[in-house]
Structure 1
């Protein structure tokens, strides 16, 4: 890169792209600039000086997806290089570097912000610019949110939120179906950074000024635009949206627009009512005022109005949530609404916008268990939902993913304390009731149906979203799918494991936990080489390690350990990555857990980890690691004893010090007794291997061991007539042969030493009979 840079590659690329028309060449040239800027602040600053910031914006202005994505990545690389950030989770900028390059950072982000409302750029470029702002304004990154508010950036984002495809004239912005959604996410991201009252007030005031300015304009277009903008606010920074809606006259204006004869006004008013009914108390108020208006609109001849009115009715009708006892509308009306949504979803020739709203209606109605069962039985409706998801349209994301979350019951349930329930009954307080169709058997059935219909492919397409909450919902659905062992193969086959990795590393805390648990479940039943090919088998280790955190429940710990056990068995690279992620200390802590299954799983991971020379070295140190394994050989649980004895068998094969450490335990003889006389053939075999290793490693230790009754017990093992113990018997013969070769025992003493175990057994039986 340095040689190319010194030879003037940037200048040549700049000249080439002034005349080049082939998009493939342009895209590759942009990627070359990206490579030059990567992790080098000096080169990056030189690139900015030579090409100029407008060059990047010019390259971004395209309808070719690869070119836009390459330019977006290049601009992020530039910001990373001059701030010290990386494209990794929890990557933070270097303060000294940011301070040094603050002017360039401010200029670059300001240019991006001003380009948001550029009327000449493509919709795809506008979306990419807003995505760059989403990634860089947060206080954890470049901390530019307050600066954005200062330079009136919120007004520009609100302009995008208020843009309508129906109003097309020369100065209209080009937008995509996802533009308003991305702008809403950007506003929400900025509002997250308003962490003190004064900043929040400034944010709300700027939004209120925009709304006021539009409302004071007498024409109908301004009223429509402000309603669309308020809808976006209710989908983004909800608190600000609710503040604006609750101001005098705003909701009344929206309800009046819903009753007008203008179809566009009816349409945007319906969408705003849907968004406004976001909280139970607000929905309750709208049931009285808005329901009649929505019912009237549902009789409209225009399908776009009907489907929006339908979604509004669905949302108001589902305001009881999961509580089966609350029915805002008459019994049976929920099923009728669901059937109406289904018709819009599956009817051939319907445009994507109508199907999107039908999916959103189902998102609310599928809180009802009866609707869930009816929908899952309808293969055409499920396919319609999945096909809508495969489009990757961000504005359809909420409806599709929420419906899927409801179908697989992937939401958090509040655990009910029996004592509090009795107290509530005594106080005659309402107690939520769960529907019988939400029992685990019914949920499992729905999961299998969805997986067989190919829901994973739809979820993979929707993973491109920048919204952390949406990522969390997608992760919840994936986790629910992976809870059923029989469908995990389909999840991997359709690309689920690949998209789960970024979901497990970026997003909300809950989202990362669900994605990591889904990865654990995949890693348990599917060969890691198939589930996580190539570099992915190393990348998956970090999210699995996060599952070993004390905040995670026992099931999450256990599943992560099982997956790590399979990964540790793969190769030395995976074992080294586990050690690098501080895995050894976490696994050792879990080995000492009181929970049998956790202790067993942790011991099994350790059994595979000891194949690493570094782990052997740590066991040789001045600690009790070998002692713990030796004592676990005496465990009643066969699987734990098997894993512990397996680990000891490997350690004693490669390390004389580990052999010595066994004899430093006060009860070392009891350990050997348990191993040699173990009822489990597998544990007994491992015990014989440990003895063989001790004899090979040290004559001194072998003498100490064979001076005890262990020698007689080994002779006893050689006389056993049990096919299941064939390996242990063969190993016992090897041990005796090695002992003879080392002159630890005399060959002629064999017959004297060997007790006739069959004669003893017969005598014991006679004694019992007497």
Structure 2
């Protein structure tokens, strides 16, 4: 086919592909012939677009139907099956068979449902065996192998592949003179092997192609050698990398790949280091395969919640009792998948240049690539020692580009796609342990832009507790950086309500992180300060301050420091002081809680056995500031009632012990306001005795 004429014809077909009914028989025949390997890559790429649009056009006529046996699938099969069979059953012309096989493989990539339906028809697999017998040429063998590789990715097709073809694939993977054929055969075997493992895990009988670990390692070694020595063929490398992507889910293969720096360096060198990476389908496919390999090498074993772990255990027991996959159900975890080994693999991958690959990949507009990047970065930054390297390579910018792609077409109020939460979590980890300036640079814009996704990580219905915790920590770091960041966080819809709810969580770390965020927001945002007592509404402030008082008396020291720090700040307003005083009048407990910050020996009536021993200087300082604010006469609290309450709380004794040095040695930042408190207490004592 003349390449130029082919491009023009494909352009015409692309214009009408959305309306398949307008296709003429000659045009369909032309499309089917457009996928043969001898055609230019650009022409075949355009043919894929036409085929995809054609299939979507058929399926759009049945938008509510799904599954592999619906009428849309049958309609597509009705169109393509006669054409495919007429080509692959031709016993006279080799070129005709190659046309049919190459189109069949393309259909699997574009619409696997209809392709699988056709593959399952009587006689189709036999035509493949006949083609190999009648035309023992490298071109026919390669196209049959590629078709088997595509079909092997689908369970219904795997069961139809006969033993003699599997044996033939094994022979070709080891002894074929044609490198492309050798690689394609290896990939077909890999897909059959991985599919067998999946089928076994689902409790079904494994297909004939189930392979041993030694076979997988043999295939991986062969593909590794091809990466190192055969870098001149793009199609070959695509096949090789795809095969390694499948194999690298196996722990032994992961370790073998990670321990071969020459292989890793050569693999990563396949990706141009400039952001002007070609965006052709071939390059994107190759890049995606490399990212999947990196992702598999760096993936940590999933952390299951207690509930998930129990469910997993029950499932394993059920499989074992049924005789299905019993060894896997009862065997110990593979040591090659423990955290220490994965951490080592991540460092080996980084040392071989993976971060350069990730930086380039972040500029590619492909959702599959974006999602793979998020997963890889999350695995890498799990190790704190890697985070500086990630930042130096521009990892935060790469993650920001990935995250922005998840919401580029949605409004700010639309939740981010849950599949992008892992990328946001990776950005959160970087933000937790580094200065915002190191992560986002000196411009405020990047920091402000990061607040929305980090808030989504906290608010999203799919976020787990770890993600919520890390979102809280990251937002806390940003809130302390500038008032602009604090205001943006405080203005995020529903965020403050969520954080205040998490302050009451049973989980200590979640409760602590939520309290620390509120503390930082109080110091940076007028909105939050008003919410907690900076406005005239005493009633609204009471419920907020009651929670801060409660958090100021929990067992966890960081939580107490954050909550009491928030109290010290907000009691700078007269409204907050009045609200605390009213809480004291309600239960006669608020002053005791604050007094315990200064002197841990103060006993609460509802917890008479609690004596914490030595106090913390930070708590002492916060408690002193709180009382200094509350007792300030400018707050115009009813002095008689105030005198009565401070006497009940034994505050005179607490401050006296502090000033005498019985509670430790403190700087003037504590002793000066303490002396002022004592002065106020003396005045209140005179009032009480008058």
Aligned equivalents of 1:315, 1:198: Cα separation in 2:
25
Contact 1:356–1:388 (CA under 8 A) maintained in structure 2 = no
SS of the residue aligned with 2:553? Answer: coil
Aligned equivalents of 1:190, 1:479: Cα separation in 2:
38
**Pick from 549, 555, 572: which aligns with 1:630?**
549
| 1:235-634 pair list within 5 angstroms | 235-257=109-131, 260-280=135-155, 282-283=157-158, 285-286=160-161, 288-298=163-173, 299-321=175-197, 328-330=210-212, 332-347=214-229, 349-390=231-272, 393-409=283-299, 415=309, 417-431=312-326, 432=328, 433=331, 434-464=333-363, 467-504=366-403, 506=405, 509-533=417-441, 534=443, 535-548=445-458, 549-582=460-493, 583-610=495-522, 611-620=524-533, 621=537, 622-623=539-540, 624-634=543-553
| Residue range with higher mean Cα deviation, 307-316 or 230-239 | 230-239
TM-score of the two chains, using structure 1 as the length reference? 0.70
Report the equivalent of 1:764.
none
Aligned equivalents of 1:349, 1:538: Cα separation in 2:
44
Contact 1:692–1:731 (CA under 8 A) maintained in structure 2 = no
Report the equivalent of 1:119.
7
| Residue range with higher mean Cα deviation, 283-292 or 656-665 | 283-292
**Pick from 604, 609, 620: which aligns with 1:684?**
620
| 1:695-710 pair list within 5 angstroms | 695-696=631-632, 698-701=634-637, 703=639, 707-708=646-647, 709-710=650-651
Task: Name structure 1 gaps, 5 residues minimum.
Answer: 1-115, 134-143, 750-770
Q: 1:303 to 1:619 in 2, by over 3 A?
A: same
**Pick from 622, 629, 635: which aligns with 1:693?**
629
Shift of 1:517: 1.6
Q: Deviations over 1:134-169 (max 9, x none)?
A: xxxxxxxxxx99x6566669999997896447434x
Q: Deviations over 1:115-134 (max 9, x none)?
A: x998259x9xx9xx99xx9x
The answer as to 2:575 corresponding to 1:663 is no
Q: 1:421 to 1:397 in 2, by over 3 A?
A: same
| Residue range with higher mean Cα deviation, 607-616 or 475-484 | 475-484
Aligned equivalents of 1:689, 1:191: Cα separation in 2:
73
Q: Deviations over 1:354-395 (max 9, x none)?
A: 222221121222232111111110001112222234556112
**Pick from 52, 58, 75: which aligns with 1:205?**
75
Q: How many matched pairs?
A: 608
Q: 1:580 to 1:149 in 2, by over 3 A?
A: farther
Shift of 1:239: 2.3
Q: 1:436 to 1:319 in 2, by over 3 A?
A: farther
Contact 1:294–1:313 (CA under 8 A) maintained in structure 2 = yes
Contact 2:291–2:372 (CA under 8 A) maintained in structure 1 = yes
Aligned equivalents of 1:190, 1:578: Cα separation in 2:
45
Contact 1:537–1:574 (CA under 8 A) maintained in structure 2 = yes
CA RMSD of aligned residues (A): 4.1
Aligned equivalents of 1:190, 1:496: Cα separation in 2:
40
Task: Name structure 2 gaps, 5 residues minimum.
Answer: 407-415, 601-614
SS of the residue aligned with 1:551? Answer: coil
Report the equivalent of 2:607.
none
Shift of 1:346: 0.9
Q: 1:300 to 1:730 in 2, by over 3 A?
A: closer
Contact 1:227–1:272 (CA under 8 A) maintained in structure 2 = yes
Contact 2:571–2:630 (CA under 8 A) maintained in structure 1 = yes
| 1:740-751 pair list within 5 angstroms | 740=679, 745=682
Aligned equivalents of 1:588, 1:747: Cα separation in 2:
35
SS of the residue aligned with 1:301? Answer: coil
SS of the residue aligned with 1:690? Answer: helix
Shift of 1:408: 2.3
| Residue range with higher mean Cα deviation, 341-350 or 235-244 | 235-244
Q: 1:377 to 1:191 in 2, by over 3 A?
A: farther
Q: Deviations over 1:686-728 (max 9, x none)?
A: 11122233345735349565653323312321222777x524x
| Residue range with higher mean Cα deviation, 591-600 or 293-302 | 293-302
Aligned equivalents of 1:588, 1:540: Cα separation in 2:
21
Shift of 1:646: 1.2
| Residue range with higher mean Cα deviation, 614-623 or 641-650 | 614-623
Report the equivalent of 1:64.
none
Aligned equivalents of 2:180, 2:512: Cα separation in 1:
59
Aligned equivalents of 2:59, 2:655: Cα separation in 1:
70
Shift of 1:268: 2.6
